[in-house]
């Protein structure tokens, strides 16, 4: 069995008091959050910062402290089973303009309810539920 570790973020933008979340359409066809492989010697938050920039061009961000959620799933890669762990942080973006890399086919900013509908996998939906609840518990968009 192969093992992979990625790190990513539930990225949100405050449109006044309304929270919008950033979702990406992956080449494989699923809607998910920005994320990517943790490289040798990299801290999780460094991966998150790097991946957000590489995948969306967004640089002006702030981590919301106190949120960290890990998921695990299995998928098949050329006959091998991959056991993958992905850790998600909660990140506020101060920019809305997105410059996609060739890795993704599309992006969208959506409110909570529509993000929940759009996300493909249950583990991603669960991550969003936790992130949204956390954000509300600390007052939402200030």
CB of 41 to ligand ATP, least distance (A): 17
User: Which residue is it, tokens 């080449």?
Assistant: 27
Residue from 73, 95, 99, 105 in contact with ligand ATP (CB under 6 A):
73
48 vs 5: CA distance, rounded Å: 12
State the minimum distance, in angstroms, from the CB of residue 7 to ligand ATP: 8
73 Cβ partners below 8 Å, 6+ apart? 84, 86, 121, 123
Stretch that binds ligand ATP, among 30-38, 58-66, 89-97, 129-137 (CB under 6 A): 30-38
Q: According to the binding rule CB under 6 A, does residue 94 interact with ligand ATP? A: no
What φ, ψ does residue 28 adopt, rounded to 5°? -75, -10
Contact 21, 14 (CB under 8 A): no
Q: Which of 13, 14, 26, 107 lies at the binding interface for ligand ATP (CB under 6 A)?
A: 26
35 binds ligand ATP (CB under 6 A): yes
Inter-CA distances, 125 with 49, 105, 130, Å:
22, 20, 9
How many residues are recorded in the chain?
142
Site for ligand ATP in 95-124 (CB under 6 A): 121, 123-124
Using CB under 6 A, list all residues that contact ligand ATP: 6, 26, 28, 30, 32, 35-37, 73, 75, 84, 121, 123-124
């Amino acid at each position: 069995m192969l093992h992979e570790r990625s790190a990513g973020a539930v990225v949100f933008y405050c449109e006044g008091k309304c929270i919008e979340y950033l979702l990406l359409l992956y080449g494989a066809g699923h809607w998910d959050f920005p994320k990517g492989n943790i490289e040798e010697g990299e801290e999780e938050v460094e991966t998150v910062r790097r991946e957000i920039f590489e995948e969306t061009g967004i640089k002006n961000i702030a981590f919301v402290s106190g949120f960290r959620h890990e998921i695990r799933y299995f998928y098949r890669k050329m006959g091998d089973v991959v056991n993958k762990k992905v850790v998600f942080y909660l990140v506020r973006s101060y920019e809305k303009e997105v410059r996609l890399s060739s890795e993704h086919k599309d992006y969208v900013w959506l409110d909570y309810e529509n993000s929940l509908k759009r996300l493909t996998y249950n583990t991603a939906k669960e991550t969003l539920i936790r992130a949204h609840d956390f954000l509300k518990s600390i007052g939402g968009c200030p």
